[in-house]
Structure 1
Amino acid sequence: MTTQISNIPKPSLADKSEIIHRWLIDNGCKIDHKLIKIVYLEKDHLYENSNNNNNKTTNNENNNNENNSKRLNKTIISGLGIISNKDLKVNNIVAKIPKDIILSIHTSSISNILTKYTMERNIATAIALIYEASIGEKSKWYGYISSLPLKVDIPILWDKESQQLLNGTVMEDVIQDDNILINHAYADIVESLLIKNHPEYFSKEIFSFENFKIANSIVSSRAFCIDSYHGDSLVPLADIFNHKTGRENVHIESNGDVCNKCGSIKTCKHRKVTPLITKSAKSYKKLTNKKKMELIEKQKQQQINDEENCGDIAEEDDEHLYIKVVKAVKANQEVYNTYGDHSNATLLSKYGFIEMDNPCDNLPVEKSLVDTNLISLCKENGFDSNELSKRISFYASLFDIDSRNTHSIEISGRLDDALVCSVGIALAPLSEFEGWLKMSEHKLEKYFEKLEAEDIVKQNAQVKKAIVQILNNKLSNYPTTLEQDQNKLKELKENEENRKIISTSLNICEKKLIYKSIKYYEDLK
């Protein structure tokens, strides 16, 4: 019987905050307890806190988005978090973390083995996590690992029935791609290299495919890219801060200019670090003594101000990571970090949740969908497939042809310029297209540089028709309607049907974005 990571005994959620806090302090992490504290965020607290933090609006759609986001928070994000003990100001340093307590390919107990082979840093960190978890209290990271979730419920770990809830959404392709990647990584690295060559460290029982997927889900949802040496690593304390896209309160900062072979920030046998002589330094030499004294006094005052803002942790060095406030927080509020500006598809595939009001959301539009509609419309306009191919080749002569592989709807409802431009060229009147062919390369570049994507739509009714048709056809690919999804979401029970809540919410987000795009282009005059 395979031993699973999830079968390793774990403390209760209420005990985790004390365990990780003690481990962090014992391992040299400095936390400004006047400013923040680690807590177990129960769902009721999260729900109330979310109510306090959100700005009120009279817009019904925005209110619905906020209510659904709160519900998702209440349903999905429970566990450890960070709360402010007092008002936090910008540039407050709330904690510093020694680089030697991060878990990466270079810090793990098996780094001498992992560094022998070429592998992605996130894969190496997942393997290191499995090993450190398997040796229990012998591991330096035992207390930290005890505080981690048993697994992160990302769609790649869902059963087939649950994954089918995502049919028609962008996640359908994402799951397929993720499965291919993780299967290759396990076969090529874990089985072929580690289990085969180092069975004394890597047993088939511990390093099973199931354990590898679980460890990968934890690393995927919690890792930070520290620098070119460590790559994606698990960073204790930093990963306790929960996420808000584009609305975070803190950033993780460090000196990322390190040697990618040994991690040194200084001159080493692999590279020479040359101090920069800045324009400021050159200008300083030309100042009079009086001006120099004034500048020194000004710098001293600035240092005093910075130290007041930083709190008890003011000294910055290159051996630590620093957690610094970038947006003020009121006392007794949750403090958020960001995992990056991601779409809902990325948030769900990597972190196991979505945001109904995600300001960075976007939706891919398949090139095959665009081309199918172009072929149909070209026939209506009397163009054959050869004429369409000629026009697409013309597009490729002006722009990067690969730009047609990454079409998307932006959060504003706008489509990417490459989609609009390629449709505009494909459906341009014959006389206009022949005029372009006669232009010099220089004139063509100038012409299309000045041409706005919206102008292409306004000037040609066929382009607007094509874009709306493409968007409507994308809507028809979903097995349910927006109204059906909204009614279903109201009926779903929290905690009992989390995956259904997430998948239904994603369907709603995607369809709303398509409808917003349709309205955007129909309203263009």
Structure 2
Amino acid sequence: MVPLADLFNHKTGAEDVHITSVSSHHESDDDSDDDSNNGNDYSDADISEDGNGQLSQDLDKNSHGDMDMECPPAPEEEPTVLEMILIKDVKAGDEVYNTYGNMGNAALLHRYGFTEENNPYDIVNIDIELVLEWSNSLFSNRHSRARVGMWRRLNYSGCVSQDSEYFEISYDGEPQLELIILLYIMLLSDDAYHILDLAASTEQDYNLDMLLSEKEKLQEAPTPELSKDLMVTEGVCKALLELADIRERLYGPNSIRDDIETLNTCRCSEDRKLYYTLILRVCERRILEKLRRYASLKVEAFGRKKGFTRRDIRV
């Protein structure tokens, strides 16, 4: 552990200090000569935050003995120093926080053994196997496999980690675009699917936007935002509601209210593991509630649109 770097607890998106490394170029030439004459050289102590938000340290201490004065150390071997920067005012007596990076509770629990309530980077994963479970409940296995194959032919895929493919539901309950596209393809009519299949087989650069463009009689291929709007059909929204229920079953028979009641009576000091696990469960299940709300509101909007159309026809 880097000295002093572990003094601060983590707080997502609300850190008070940044810890970084700075090359010590301020050393004088005389100091550099003295170091060379002493025959000791220390390479960079590279202390920084990596892509996972973890502090990493790479110390390489080498003793060179008698050093040839005609071969000075390369610039990259100059020593660096650890620098702590206060990025905002902190009141006296308040706790000072660092950050381990922007990550959801599952990653925090796996890497550091704790979780946070109201973590804006929290997500819920829906494995592609659950999507296939939903699809096979409505269609044949052959149908499901063919639609997934088409989705991949169009160069789409989910997130992959440790040989597991999944889709992310954001903190706000919005599903990953690749999941919406897969559900859309799953629900295409046979005629529309055959058109897409033929086009994908004969045109190398054909993509789903082109099908949507033809469907909506648009002048240009739609933007990603427009594509998402066109693919979030009533059927896709109902599929999202069913997927939320399938994912919810993985938590067992206890309801989210049961988990909240257990969390309210659990003390971190007495059972740290249970406490942080309950936070993870409750936060993930709240995201699933937001996913249901996202899909339900759109289904209601489709219903209102249909109702307006029928009234308009009767008039």
Residue type matched to 1:365 in 2?
I
Whole-Å separation in 1 of the counterparts to 2:61 and 2:13:
30
The question of whether the paired residues in 2 share the 8 Å contact of 1:421 and 1:456 is answered with no
Say whether 1:444 aligns with 2:207. Answer: yes
Whole-Å separation in 1 of the counterparts to 2:169 and 2:134:
17
- Determine which of 270, 274, 287 is the counterpart of 1:496: 270
Say whether 1:415 aligns with 2:172. Answer: no
Equivalent residue number for residue 435 of structure 1? 195
Which residues of 2 match residues 234-245 of structure 1 at below 5 A?
234-245=1-12
SS class of match (1:372):
helix
Whole-Å separation in 2 of the counterparts to 1:454 and 1:472:
23
Question: Residue by residue, what CA displacement relative to the aligned partner does 1:442-488 show, whole Å, maximum 9, x if unpaired?
Answer: 34265377354642553x32211111101111112212111111222
Q: How far off its partner does 1:491 sit? A: 2.9
Whole-Å separation in 2 of the counterparts to 1:326 and 1:406:
36
Equivalent residue number for residue 297 of structure 2? 523
SS class of match (2:18):
strand
SS class of match (1:434):
helix
SS class of match (1:467):
helix
Say whether 1:398 aligns with 2:154. Answer: yes
- Determine which of 122, 129, 137 is the counterpart of 1:376: 137
Whole-Å separation in 2 of the counterparts to 1:399 and 1:511:
31
The question of whether the paired residues in 2 share the 8 Å contact of 1:471 and 1:514 is answered with yes
Q: Which has the higher contact order (CA 8 A, sep 6+)?
A: 1
> Identity of counterpart residues, as a percentage?
27
- Determine which of 238, 252, 260 is the counterpart of 1:465: 238
SS class of match (1:442):
coil
Equivalent residue number for residue 505 of structure 1? 279
Whole-Å separation in 1 of the counterparts to 2:98 and 2:268:
25
Q: How far off its partner does 1:412 sit? A: 1.3
Question: Residue by residue, what CA displacement relative to the aligned partner does 1:135-160 show, whole Å, maximum 9, x if unpaired?
Answer: xxxxxxxxxxxxxxxxxxxxxxxxxx
Equivalent residue number for residue 389 of structure 1? 145
Residue type matched to 2:193 in 1?
F
Whole-Å separation in 2 of the counterparts to 1:261 and 1:494:
36
Say whether 1:351 aligns with 2:112. Answer: yes
Say whether 1:476 aligns with 2:249. Answer: yes
Aligned residues: 239
Whole-Å separation in 1 of the counterparts to 2:194 and 2:134:
23
Whole-Å separation in 2 of the counterparts to 1:272 and 1:390:
58
Question: CA 1:486–1:432 in structure 2 vs 1: closer, same or farther (change >3 Å)?
Answer: same
Question: CA 1:273–1:498 in structure 2 vs 1: closer, same or farther (change >3 Å)?
Answer: closer
Q: How far off its partner does 1:438 sit? A: 3.8
Q: How far off its partner does 1:431 sit? A: 2.5
The question of whether the paired residues in 1 share the 8 Å contact of 2:9 and 2:97 is answered with yes
Question: Residue by residue, what CA displacement relative to the aligned partner does 1:401-422 show, whole Å, maximum 9, x if unpaired?
Answer: 4547131211111111111111
Structure 1 gap segments, 5+ residues each: 1-233, 275-316
Whole-Å separation in 2 of the counterparts to 1:438 and 1:327:
59
Say whether 1:252 aligns with 2:19. Answer: yes
Question: CA 1:328–1:374 in structure 2 vs 1: closer, same or farther (change >3 Å)?
Answer: farther
Residue type matched to 2:141 in 1?
S
Equivalent residue number for residue 321 of structure 1? 82
SS class of match (1:254):
strand
Question: Residue by residue, what CA displacement relative to the aligned partner does 1:221-250 show, whole Å, maximum 9, x if unpaired?
Answer: xxxxxxxxxxxxx11101111110111111
The question of whether the paired residues in 1 share the 8 Å contact of 2:147 and 2:186 is answered with yes
The question of whether the paired residues in 2 share the 8 Å contact of 1:242 and 1:338 is answered with yes
- Determine which of 421, 424, 431 is the counterpart of 2:184: 424
Residue type matched to 1:323 in 2?
M
Whole-Å separation in 1 of the counterparts to 2:8 and 2:177:
36
Residue type matched to 1:509 in 2?
C
Q: How far off its partner does 1:436 sit? A: 2.1
Equivalent residue number for residue 261 of structure 2? 487
SS class of match (1:395):
helix
Equivalent residue number for residue 94 of structure 1? none
The structure that is strand-richer by fraction is: 2
SS class of match (2:137):
helix
Equivalent residue number for residue 330 of structure 1? 91
The structure that is helix-richer by fraction is: 1
**4+ aligned runs moved over 4 Å, structure 1:** 255-264, 271-274
Question: Residue by residue, what CA displacement relative to the aligned partner does 1:48-76 show, whole Å, maximum 9, x if unpaired?
Answer: xxxxxxxxxxxxxxxxxxxxxxxxxxxxx
The question of whether the paired residues in 2 share the 8 Å contact of 1:244 and 1:338 is answered with yes
Whole-Å separation in 2 of the counterparts to 1:474 and 1:371:
12
SS class of match (2:115):
coil
TM-score, normalization: structure 2?
0.66
Equivalent residue number for residue 16 of structure 1? none
Structure 2 gap segments, 5+ residues each: 24-42, 47-57, 63-70, 213-221, 302-315
Give the RMSD, CA atoms, in angstroms. 3.1
Whole-Å separation in 2 of the counterparts to 1:238 and 1:522:
46
TM-score, normalization: structure 1?
0.41
Deviates most, 442-451 or 427-436: 442-451
Question: CA 1:426–1:490 in structure 2 vs 1: closer, same or farther (change >3 Å)?
Answer: same
The question of whether the paired residues in 2 share the 8 Å contact of 1:356 and 1:509 is answered with yes
The question of whether the paired residues in 2 share the 8 Å contact of 1:409 and 1:416 is answered with yes
Question: CA 1:498–1:475 in structure 2 vs 1: closer, same or farther (change >3 Å)?
Answer: same
The question of whether the paired residues in 2 share the 8 Å contact of 1:374 and 1:426 is answered with yes
